[in-house]
Amino acid sequence: MVLRRLGKSIHSAIEKFVRRGPLDKELVLELKNDIFRALLDADIDIAVASVVVNNLEQRSLTEELPPGIDRKKAVINIVYEELTRIMGGEARPLNVNKKKTNIIMMLGSQGSGKTTTVGKLAYKLKKEGWRVGLVAADTWRPGAYDQLIQLGERAEVEVFGNPKQKNAVKIAQEGIKHFRNQQKNLIIVDTAGRHKGDDALIKEMKNLTKKIKPDEVIFVVDGTNGKQVFESAQKYARVSEIGSIIVTKLDGTAKGGGAISASAAAGVPIKYIGTGEDITALEEFNPKKFVGRILGMGDLDTLIEEVKKANLALSEDRTEEMMKGHMNYNDILMMFESMNKMGGFRKILDMLPGGMTHQVDDNMLNMSKENMEKFKVVISSMTKKEREAEVKLNRTRIERIARGSGVTVEDVKELVNQKKMAEKMVKQMNKPKRRGRGGSGGGLPFGLPFG
């Protein structure tokens, strides 16, 4: 999960709040302090953080509740609302419409990732069926045109530009005209981040906005920047009406506070996040879902969608058998495969409720991955009958499989045990009585170390 550290510290604050005694003023103040610290630690602007926690305190202590509502839950809900609010609230799609020619203009300081993001957006939106054209209207950065040409080639999208023309407005206008004639319905204009000076840059952006009248202005923020982003976002928000925010470089160790400050300053949500240098590394972002995950509410809708997308290659027969608690080793291989397709353990953990993702650190996860790879090798050393669980894995067989796959006998036995545990869990889950988690004691199978 991006902003993992922020997620973790807010989650612990909430956990402590739930664990402690009855709800009183002192407990609310403690929660307020913990959340304030978590926000500042993530490099969120202090004014933004203060608004969040002051609202939290005030609302928690004064809001009347209908009878029957758990007060602690109500407070957690206030945390949820306040955090989503500073992150721009409800996720909104880009303000574009396939039936006309839409103009998107990028905005952001030098090196924030505008040009790279133009490439990523072009790649993504083209796949979604848009007819995309790119305009290289950064006349200040040497090589900006070539950089965009390369990205355009990767995304298979045409780039309009003229390295000799120094007037950004002219290039933008010519580019838009060019692509309009070609019936493109989405034109993305890359702009400068460096200039003769700050004021000159702002002036140029103001002028561009006035002349090309973009349908959507996207403010691009470097996710590794901290508090200073707040001011910068305010400055750009005065230049043109920012419609959305894209935060880049969240793949590193970015605390990400700058991203949230930007959102709060401009009053619009983060729509996408950049998670790598590659053209495919752009993910949609939904503040509500994100905060929900931080608070441990999980995101089961997305999980279900992802499972569908991963297209579980299980026949109906096998599904029925598995639901009865009878698995074989082919089923297990298939489960590993789907897990990979869904983006791995962490992605799945992120979407599970109960804040599970915060309980599993990267070391544990690497162990799970290692286990998975090991088990794959073990299974590949089995005979067909063994894989289909038609024969019992006795000592001789286990020893042979271990030799064949270069692992220890214990490793093979572990796989056998994990299979048994998985079968037991499925049986338990299918029992019509109370659902609820836990119960298996030793954690989830296949090295997922929680329960």
Ligand X SMILES: Nc1nc2c(ncn2[C@@H]2O[C@H](COP(=O)(O)OP(=O)(O)OP(=O)(O)O)[C@@H](O)[C@H]2O)c(=O)[nH]1
Q: From edge to edge, which strands make up the β-sheet containing 216-222? A: 158-160, 132-136, 186-190, 102-107, 216-222, 244-248, 270-274, 282-284
Residue carrying the six token digits 């089961």: 300
What the block records as the tokens of 295 is 């608070």
Residue 85 or 120: the one with the smaller Cβ distance to ligand X is: 120
Give the shortest CB-192-to-Mg ion separation in angstroms: 7
Tell me if 162 sits within 8 A of 171, measured CB to CB. Answer: yes
Is residue 232 near Mg ion by the rule CB under 5 A? no
**Dihedral sign for Cα atoms in the order 169, 172, 174, 180:** negative
Closest to Mg ion by CB, 1 or 281: 281
Sole window of 31-39, 180-188, 270-278, 397-405 interacting with ligand X (rule: CB under 6 A) = 270-278
CB of 278 to ligand X, least distance (A): 9
Which residue, among 346, 253, 359, has the nearest Cα to 296 in the 3D structure? 359
Compute the least distance from the CB of residue 113 to Mg ion, in Å. Answer: 8
Span of 274-282, 359-367, 384-392, 406-414 interacting with ligand X by CB under 6 A: 274-282
209 near 98, Cβ under 8 Å? no
Residue nearest to Mg ion (CB): 115
102: β partners = 186
Q: Which stretch binds Mg ion (CB under 5 A): 106-114, 150-158, 266-274, 335-343?
A: 106-114
Residue 110: CB minimum distance to ligand X, A? 4
- Min dist CB 88 to ligand X, Å, is 19
Q: How far is the CB of 220 from Mg ion (least distance, A)?
A: 9
Side-chain-side CA neighbours of residue 368 (13 Å)? 22
Query: ∠ at Cα 329 (323, 331), nearest 5°?
Result: 45
Q: Which does 113 bind (CB under 5 to 8 A by kind): Mg ion, ligand X, none?
A: ligand X
For ligand X, the closer CB: 275 or 286: 275
By beta-carbon proximity to Mg ion, the closer residue of 157 and 339 is 157
Distance, in Å, from the CA atom of 335 to the CA atom of 41, rounded to the nearest integer, reads 38
Q: How far is the CB of 408 from Mg ion (least distance, A)?
A: 53
The amino acid present at 382, given as its one-letter code, is: M
Task: Give the residue from 162, 221, 209, 157 showing the smallest Cα distance to 187.
Answer: 157
Size of the residue set binding ligand X (CB under 6 A): 22
Side-chain-side CA neighbours of residue 382 (13 Å): 24
Shortest gap between Cβ of 349 and ligand X (angstroms)? Answer: 22
* Residue 115 in contact with Mg ion, rule: CB under 5 A: yes
215 vs 222, which CB is nearer to ligand X? 222
The 420-439 contact track toward ligand X, x by CB under 6 A, reads --------------------
The least CB distance from residue 448 to ligand X, in Å, is 29
Per-residue x/- track, 139-158, ligand X (CB under 6 A): --x--x--------------
Cβ of residue 117: shortest distance to Mg ion, in angstroms? 9
Binding mask 233-252 for ligand X (x = CB under 6 A): ---------------xx-xx
User: Which residues between 295 and 354 bind ligand X (CB under 6 A)?
Assistant: none
Per CB under 5 A, which region of 89-97, 113-121, 227-235, 412-420 contacts Mg ion? 113-121
Question: Which of 277, 228, 278, 221 shows the shortest CA–CA distance to 244?
Answer: 221
User: Per-residue contact track with ligand X, 94 to 133, x per CB under 6 A?
Assistant: --------------x-xxxxxxx-----------------
Choose between 76 and 144: whose C-beta lies nearer to ligand X: 144
DSSP 85: H
| Torsion of Cα atoms, 395 then 397 then 399 then 401, to 10° | -150
Distances (CA, A) of 26 to 12, 49, 327, 419: 17, 20, 52, 48
DSSP 253-320: S---HHHHHHHHHHT--EEEEE-SSSTT-EEE--HHHHHHHHTT---HHHHHHHHHHHT----HHHHH
Stretch in the footprint of Mg ion (CB under 5 A) among 114-122, 208-216, 416-424, 439-447: 114-122
The number of beta carbons lying within 10 Å of the beta carbon of residue 105 is: 25
Q: Which residues bind Mg ion (CB under 5 A)?
A: 114-115
Q: Which residues bind ligand X (CB under 6 A)?
A: 108, 110-116, 138, 141, 144, 193-194, 248-249, 251-252, 274-277, 281
